[in-house]
Amino acid sequence: EAGVTQFPSHSVIEKGQTVTLRCDPISGHDNLYWYRRVMGKEIKFLLHFVKESKQDESGMPNNRFLAERTGGTYSTLKVQPAELEDSGVYFCASSQGGGSSRPYNEQFFGPGTRLTVL
Amino acid sequence: AQSVTQLDSQVPVFEEAPVELRCNYSSSVSVYLFWYVQYPNQGLQLLLKYLSGSTLVESINGFEAEFNKSQTSFHLRKPSVHISDTAEYFCAVLYSGGYQKVTFGIGTKLQVIP
C-alpha cells in the first residue's frame, strides 16, 4: 500500500511568488494534517482536516496560507505571496478515522516538501 | 502552553556504545508519547509509542523508551548503536482529550561514529 506522498519534493521560489504544495494521503484515511519545520526549530502543527472539513487550523501562521481538501482526498497548501520566513520543510500526515472509540489514530508522515524562498 | 523539550541537539557516539536521547514534556493529565525518526533523505517514521500499560516500550531495532510520569520524561535508549542508527530523532506528545495535534520537540541528531 502506498504511503503518504508529497509533491514537489523541493521548491525554490522568489519572495512574492506563489507556491502550491500537494499531499496525497493514504487511501481511506479521513484525517489529514499539515506540519512545518522551519530550520533549527520544532516541527509545528499547521492544520487538520477531517475529510474535506477543517477540524483545527490553529497553527496556520497567517492569511497568506490557504489549505484545501476538496472531495476529502488530496490536499493542497498554497502560500501567496511567499515570504522569506516561509522557508522550511512542510510535512503532511494522514490517519484513519475512528471517532472517540479509539485512543488515538497513528499519523503516517510523508517525506516532506522543502520550500526555499529567496 | 504544551511543549516538548529535547535538550541535546546533537549527540555523537561511537559505534557499539550505548546512547540516551532525552525528552521531557510539559505536564498534563493524560498524554500519549512517541519517538519519530528521520533517516537522511527520508520522511518521518514512527519508532515507538507509549499509549498506556507498561511504561517501558521497545522498537523492533533495539531502541527502548520509558515513560516516567513523575519526571514527565520519555527518554530513548539503545544499549549498542549501529552506523545505520545515524538519523534525527524527534520526541512527540499527543495530549489526549483534545484534537489529534502532535507536539514535537526540536529533534536530536544522532551521529554514530565508526
B80-91 average pLDDT score: 96
Domains of chain B in start order, with CATH, are 4-113 (2.60.40.10)
Model confidence over B55-64: pLDDT tens digits? 899 898 899 9
Which chain A residue's Cα is nearest to B30? A103
Structure confidence at residue A99 (pLDDT): 54
Residue type at position A57:
E
Tell me the chain B residues in contact with residue A59 when contact means C-beta distances shorter than 8 Å. Answer: 101
Fold assignment, A5-97+107-117: Immunoglobulin-like (2.60.40)
Which residues make Cβ contacts (< 8 Å) with residue B41, sequence separation at least 6? none
Q: Which of B27, B77, B11, B19 is nearest to B48 (CA)?
A: B77
B30 touches chain A (CB under 8 A): no
Model confidence over A52-85: pLDDT tens digits? 999 999 999 999 999 999 888 999 999 999 999 9
Which residues make Cβ contacts (< 8 Å) with residue A65, sequence separation at least 6? A46, A77, A78, A79
Cα angle vertex B3, ends A93, B53, to 5°? 75
Structure confidence at residue A17 (pLDDT): 97
> Quick check: B29 pLDDT over 80?
no
The more confident residue out of A83 and B31 is A83
Contact B102 A45 (CB under 8 A): yes
pLDDT band (50, 70, 90) for residue B113: very high
Tell me the chain A residues in contact with residue B104 when contact means C-beta distances shorter than 8 Å. Answer: 35, 42-44
The more confident residue out of A90 and B101 is A90
Spans of chain A below 50 pLDDT: 100
